Amino acid sequence: MERSKVVFTKDQIQQRVKELGALISKDYQNEEVVLVCNLKGAFIFLADLCRYIAAPIAIDFIATTSYKGTATSGNVRIIKDLKMDIRGEKILIVEDIIDTGYTLEYIINYLKLHKPKEVKVVTLLDKRCRRLIEIPIAYIGYEVKDKFLIGYGLDYNEKYRELNYIAELGVE
């Protein structure tokens, strides 16, 4: 692999995801929540998080694209739509990382067209310093600096998603 510096270890991530699961379980109690995972980056976070939630859940996936290499653009597109009918449902969008906020804004607006009861967001990582659109985020794993991160679902040109830790690309 190219040079990289570990930012969050496997154990740190598992501990934090467990804590997020406990917070979510407490907030939803016995109410059903639909976890909408934004592919591809959030798939590993979703897989761990959903097993730490002690509330009734349903799971669906949406896929968006906007990224080329490490440069972002506001051109978000949906490339895989929901399968469920989410009308009247409580939705929790599961994101890997929020950068400018364009992707999330687009997904929230799109989901709202389907008239859910509520839309909230959980993200593992929040690159708050890069935010261009302010969006309330109900649950945040870690706030991170403006560095390009890989691992635990996050990719660089589709590589490194399988790492069980998160690292900064190109740094030793």
Is 65 a binding residue for ligand IMP by CB under 6 A? The answer is no
Helices (H) and strands (E) in the chain, counts: 3, 9
Is 85 labeled as catalytic in the residue annotation? no
- Are 94 and 46 in contact by the 8 Å Cβ rule? The answer is yes
Is 48 a binding residue for ligand IMP by CB under 6 A? The answer is no
Counting Cα atoms < 13 Å in the Cβ hemisphere of 119 gives: 20
Is 107 a binding residue for ligand IMP by CB under 6 A? The answer is no
- Are 156 and 169 in contact by the 8 Å Cβ rule? The answer is yes
User: Which whole-number Å values give the CA distances from 113 to 58, 66, 69, 91, 122, in the listed order?
Assistant: 19, 21, 30, 13, 20
Is 12 a binding residue for ligand IMP by CB under 6 A? The answer is no
What's CA 100's distance to the chain center, in Å? 13
Q: Which of 48, 96, 99, 126 is catalytic?
A: 99
Strand partners, 28: none
Is 141 a binding residue for Mg ion by CB under 5 A? The answer is no
Residue among 48 and 99 whose Cβ is closer to ligand IMP: 99
Exactly one of 103, 126, 139, 140 binds ligand IMP (CB under 6 A); which one? 103
Is 66 a binding residue for ligand IMP by CB under 6 A? The answer is yes
Which entry of ligand IMP, Mg ion, none binds 7, CB below 5 to 8 A by partner kind? none
Give catalytic residue positions. Answer: 99
Residues near ligand IMP (CB under 6 A):
41, 66-67, 72, 95-104, 127, 148-149, 154
